[in-house]
Structure formats: C-alpha cells, structure tokens
Chain A
Amino acid sequence: MATNSAIPDVERKVLAASLIFVAAMLGLIAYAAIRLGISVPTCVTGIKPFEEGELIRVGPGRYEAHVVAKTWSFKPNRIKVEKGSVVDFYVTSKDIVHGFMIEQTNVNLMAIPGAVNYAQARFEKAGTHQILCHEFCRAGHENMMASIEVTP
C-alpha cells in the first residue's frame, strides 16, 4: 500500500511529548508563583483611587508610594529610601495609559486611568534606579521618567 489510511503512531507520540513539554514549563511557573511568590499584578481592592502622588513612610524601612502618571511626568518624581527598604508601589494615571518600569527590579506595570495597580520591591543595594514610561503617550513620551534613590 503506497498511502496509508491509518493515523501514524509517531504523531501521537509527538503530541504527547509536546503536552509534557508545556506542562513542565507551566509546572515551573506555578512553582515560582506559589513557592517563591513570583507572580503578576492582580486586582487590588482596599485602596481608594488617589489624585496626588506621595511617598508615605509606614515604618522604618517600609514605604508606600502612591504614584500618579500623567503626560508627561510621574509624581512623585524623585523617591528616596534607605538601603534595605521595602516599598509598596500603587500606580495610576491621571489621563491616558502610561507604563511604569523600575530598572533592575521586577516592577513593570501599566498605569491605567481609573484603576490602581500594585507591585512591591525591596531595595537591597544603594544606588539610583531609573523609572520610565514605556507605553506611547504622545509627544513627550520619550522624556517621561522618574527615579528612586536608595541611600546607603
């Protein structure tokens, strides 16, 4: 018989191998989320939408930053914390959609008008981290930045 009308068995095995491959990656991601606490932004309740940006010192080495993104600035623009601080970032926008990315951290958020986003970062080393907007927001987008200074 030149052509076979039976499903080739090897394809079934390739399908199984593919499913195992993706399941393995999903398993590792689940492990990172559940055991190591590495996850993605979720819906935050319990914080009222804020109009003004401010840095609130909650305790020694503990801060809450309310960040308001607006064309084309972040408020507060310069955040100063001491080495070893843990900062809860709450981020929103006053006008259109902006991005909020803090270099050398895992904080990478979208700032959306009407909603509040949240991420936490711990600043172990002294130095300055740049914050920038990475979602197009018209003319001054390429100059929309802020910074976090971590003092020794």
Chain B
Amino acid sequence: MIQKNLRAVIVLELLFPLTLLLFGAYHGVLQVLYRAGLIQDTSFLGIGYYTGLTAHGVINAIVLTTFFGVAFGHAVISQQLEQSVSAPAAKAGAALMILGTLVAAGPIFAGKADVLYTFYAPMKAHPLFYIGVVLLVVGSWVSFWGWIPGYLRWRRNHPGRKTPLGAVGIFATFIIWQMCTLPVAYEVLVQLIPWSLGLTAGVNVVLSRLLFWFFGHPLVYFWLLPAYVMYYMIMPRLAGGKLYSDFYARFVFLAFIVLSTPLGLHHQFTEPAISSGYKALHAALTFLVAVPSLLTAFTLAASLEYGARQNGGQGLFAWWGKLPYLDKERWLFPYLFLGLVIFILGGITGIVNASYSMSAMIHNTSWIPAHFHLTVAGPVFLAILGMSLYLSVGLLGKKIAAPAVAVSIPYVWTVGVFTFSAGLFYGGLKGVPRRTNLGMSYLDPLSDAYRPDWRIGEYIGAVGGCIMGLAVLLFFYVLVRSLASTRSEQESDSFALPVSEAYHDEDIGVVRNFRPWIVAAVIAILISYIPPLIQVLGANYPLVSE
C-alpha cells in the first residue's frame, strides 16, 4: 500500500510535468518540421526555433524525468518499506521542484534562456534559469533525504530480511543522483550564477564542461534506473512470470552505482584540453557499464520466458508469442516491453558512441539525437507514460478509460521513434548537424548552402516525429478521460504496485549492503576524474564571457 499522506504529492508530481509535456512534445514535433524545411523561419507562432528546442529538452529530459523519478520513488519506497517516507520532506521537495521549474520556465519562454538543456558556457542565460534549475535539483535531493530515516529504521526492525528489490533500485537511482549532481551544482552555483548576475568576469569554460559531463552521463542512469525497477519488479508479474534471479537484479543496480559516473569524458571525445589517454580510460569504463545492461536483457528475457512457458509457450522462440502484448487488462505491459525493444537499438548505438575514435563519424551530427531518442525517448519515456497513467489512475481510485487505446499507444510511439531515428541516423552519417535550424540554410532550396541529399533523412525524421506526436495526443486523451472518471475511495485505498516473485531467490551478502558499492564508486570516480581535473586546473584556462 502506498502512504495515504503521500497520495496528493505523488499525483501532483506526476501531473504537473505531464502538463508541461504538452509544450515539450509540441516543440518536438515543431523541431522535425523546421529541420525538414517545412517551416523555413527563425520562429513559428511567436516562439523561436532555439527557444523551442531549449523548452523541449528542459521539459522532456530534465523536468519530466526528475519529477517522475521522485514520484515513482515515493510510491515504491512507501509501499515496500512500510509507509516510512517522510511526508513533510516529500512536500517540501515537491514545493521546491515546482518552484524551480516555474522560475526557470519564465526566462525560457521569454526567450532569455536560449541555451538548450546543456547550457554550455559562455553562452549566458538569465540568472533565473540557473536558479530555477538549482531549486529543481535541490527539491529532488530533499525528497530523497526523506526516504533515508525510514529506510534505516526498516533495516533495524527487520534484521536478516532482504531489502525489497524495488527499494534497492530506487535507492541506487538516487545515490547515483546525489553523487553526480554535486559537480554540476558547483558549476552552476560557483561558476555560472555569479557570472550571469554580473559578479564575475567570465567562466573557465574547459572546467565547466568537465563538471557538466561528470554529471551528464550518470544523468542518463538517473533516467533509466526507475524503468529498470519496473522491468525487474513489475514486468515479470504482468507476464505471469517470475524474476529469474533476484541476486542478479540487485547486482545490476549496485553495479550501476559504481559504474555510472567515472566515464563522462566519452561525451567530450572531440574536445581539446584533455588527454586522449584519459579519454581512453573513460571509453573502457563506458564499455564496462554496458555489461549490467546486457545482463539485464538476459535476466528479463528469462523472466518473461518463465511466464510464457507457464502459459503454454513452446519451442526456442515461439514462446515469445505467449506474452500479454494487447491485453487490455494488463495494458501496462507493452509500455515496458516495447521500451526494451527500443532499447536494443538504443544500446548498440550507445556502444558505437562510446567507441572512442568512432566519435569522429557521428559527434554532433543528427545521429546523436537519433541515439538518445531510442533511450530517453524509448524505455524511459514509455515507462514514464505508462507508470504515470497507472499510478495516477490507481492512487485516485479511477478507472482507465479506453483501454484499447491505452494499450496501443506504445505501439504507435515505437513506430514513430524508430522511423524518426532511422531518418536521423542515416542523415547523421551523411554529416547532417544536430541543434541546427536546417530549414534556414541547408534545407532551403534558395540558399547557397542547400543540400538536397540531406532531405531524405529529415523527411523520414519528420514522419516519425509526427507519429510520436500522435502517440502523445492519444496518451493525453486516455489520461484526461481516465482522470475524469468517477472515483472510488475503496479502489484508491487498496491500490498497490504489482510486485513479482523471484524464481531464484538467493541470499548473498555482498548485494545486501550499499556501503561497499558506494565506496567503490567514490574510488572509481577519484581514479578516473582526478587526473583530468588536475590537467585542466593546471593549464589555467582564462575566464571567458560571450
């Protein structure tokens, strides 16, 4: 059962960003239209291209994901650790997050923070943009801290019992988040805010980038791990199966604590000022972090196979047919399953990105957004959509409206995102740049820079983007109609997240404690980041301003 005194906070934290998603998704569709040259202008309906791109990235990749991680975390922790979440901390966290989002949204929509979600210095945004981001992140910290006393109490009250898997996954997520937000907090608080207020002359750009990307890679695990919690904890049950190995599920979450952070330089392969040797070390560690995901693919397949065979599945492959793909009762299943299908392509393209010298072929081309729409806009986004619907409907005691539509949304989305990414992968290999308003030059037939051979990739991308937009519209249709249905207090009180049993329910000491893994994480970070940090600081780069 999920704490009654958290219900309103969780629902607010789910619905507030979803409301913003309307704008975020709108700007996504607009992006593909601009890039295909169907809009040939610097702005549309009063909003500039790069303003829209900033809104799209910040809302979809920062606001939505952070709010969801916290909200889903509240639900899982309160259910699995016996209602032990601190409600005052949860409310304070929510207030800070909402305030921060609104504070940052002002300058973004006023066109005073056209810096994209990476806000690379020395492009300067209005100070309220940075302050808003800080408040959002601090709010997420406060929400996390509110879980800790209850967790410690639970451990004391249940000596010898394994911490429930979902709680382990959520804690792993937020341990990673707590560690990796510290350097970006330094970047924003010490370097960027004083400069944006006119108190300092400029920014050490090289240092700011090192700090940002220290944060930028573990950020994707902050996005991904809540989805992994659903895959391990919920999906096997939905398929009528069991989690194949409880030990390996825990091992994966704990391995991510160690391996998520000491490898941010793979986002900086083409940058100056950092030795190729350090970049090579980070490349090797990035390959290592692929291993827990490869293991996950196997464990989840085995868990699904167990369920499918219970349902009469036969043969080496035919059993895949016995899963609840279009079952209106278990409509959440395709949100999770298709996210994993998308992630297969997201994963291999990520491995290509990590492959050191291969970066010259694809860095900052449209290949990059093609890749990350198969990850953050694949498994993560579908998990967020599905679980937001599931949680808000369940906590409010409502009924899912149009379950046939609900179950089809992930299919529409999958077709859309695969189409979108196919076009942008192809274009990227031909050199089409990302973050560029192509319709103003490269895809403008009247421009000297016109590149007719770049059209096909962007046209395919535009078709995909519109299909993705359609999926989002269908989602809002189901969400709004469901929330408008009559409420049942009884349903609301008895709502709980489904939790799978484990087939192999091992009890191994090394995965029963966070501490050694956190220590290992810190050691790994020190080894991988102190040398490049010394190199950067030692070179005394100048303070630069735009």
Please determine if A and B sit in direct contact within the complex, based on CB atoms under 8 angstroms apart: yes
Cross-chain contact B360 with A11 (CB below 8 angstroms): no
B271 contacts A143, C-beta separation under 8 Å: no
**Complex formed: what's the CA distance from A95 to B247 in Å?**
52
Q: In the complex the two chains form, is A136's CB within 8 Å of B436's CB?
A: yes
A137: chain B residues within 8 A (beta carbon): 123
A26-B284, A103-B431 known; A141 and B272 CB under 8 Å?
no
Are B504 and A38 interface neighbours, CB within 8 A?
Answer: no
Contact pattern, A 1-29, Cβ under 8 Å of B = 1, otherwise 0: 00111111011001100110111011001
Q: Which residues from chain B contact A33 at a C-beta distance below 8 Å?
A: 280, 356-357
Bound form: Cα–Cα A109–B272 in Å: 8
CB-defined contacts of B272 to chain A, threshold 8 Å = 41, 43-44, 91-92, 109-110, 112, 115-118
Instruction: Say whether A138 contacts B440, CB under 8 Å.
Output: no
- A114 in contact with B205 given A26-B287, A108-B364, A134-B365 (CB within 8 Å): yes
Contacts known (A106-B360, A110-B270, A114-B544); A40 close to B279, Cβ less than 8 A: yes
> Which of B288-296, B490-498, B518-526 makes up part of the contact surface?
B288-296
How many Å lie between the Cα of A101 and that of B362 in the bound state? 10
Chain A 74-111 interface residues, beta-carbon cutoff 8 Å to B? 91-92, 95-97, 99, 101, 103, 106-110
Cβ–Cβ < 8 Å partners of A21 in chain B: 294
With A113-B122, A136-B50 in contact, is A143–B544 under 8 Å at CB? no
B433: chain A residues at CB < 8 Å are: 99, 101, 132-134
**Is A95 a contact of B546 with CB atoms below 8 Å?**
yes
Interface magnitude class on chain A: 35 or more
B512 at the interface (CB under 8 A from A): no
Partner of B504, one of A5, A42, A91, A141: A5
CA distance A94 to B53 in the complex (A): 25
| B544 and A142 contacting across the interface, CB-CB below 8 Å | no
Give Cα distance in the complex from A143 to B542, angstroms.
Answer: 28
Q: Quick one: given A114-B542, A136-B436, are A41 and B271 in contact (CB under 8 Å)?
A: yes
Interface centre among B271, B279, B284 (most CB of A within 10 A): B271
Name the residue on B nearest A32 (C-beta): B357
**Contact between A114 and B541 (Cβ–Cβ < 8 Å)?**
yes
B186 on the A face (CB < 8 A): no
In the complex, whether B502 has a CB less than 8 A from a CB of chain A is yes
Closest residue of chain B to A38, judged by CB?
Answer: B357
Most buried by B among A6, A95, A108: A108
B172 CB within 8 Å of chain A: no
* B interface residue count range (under 10 / 10 to 19 / 20 to 34 / 35 or more): 35 or more
The complex places the Cα of A51 from the Cα of B160 at a distance, in Å, of 66
Inter-chain CA distance A107–B244, complex, in Å, is 47
Contact A142 B436 (CB under 8 A): yes
Q: Is B143 an interface residue (CB 8 A)?
A: no
A117 to B505, CA, bound (A): 53
For residue A50, give the distance in angstroms from its CB to the closest CB of chain B. Answer: 13
Q: Which of A11, A43, A92 contacts B298 (CB 8 A)?
A: A11
Q: Are A112 and B209 in contact (CB under 8 A)?
A: yes
User: What's the minimum C-beta distance from A2 to chain B, rounded to whole angstroms?
Assistant: 9
Hey, which chain B residues are within 8 Å of A116, CB to CB? 272
With the chains together, A10 CA to B301 CA distance in Å? 13
Cα separation A145 to B451 with both chains bound (whole Å): 13
Q: How far is the CA of A95 from the CA of B205 in the complex (A)?
A: 11
Where the two chains meet, the residues of A that have a C-beta atom closer than 8 Å to any C-beta of B are 3-8, 10-11, 14-15, 18-19, 21-23, 25-26, 29-30, 32-33, 38-44, 91-92, 95-97, 99, 101, 103, 106-110, 112-118, 132-139, 141-143, 145
| Given A29-B283, A33-B356, A40-B276, 8 more pairs with CB closer than 8 A | A5-B504, A8-B248, A14-B298, A18-B294, A41-B276, A97-B205, A118-B272, A142-B436
Closest 3 pairs (CB-CB, A-B): A134-B433, A117-B272, A42-B276
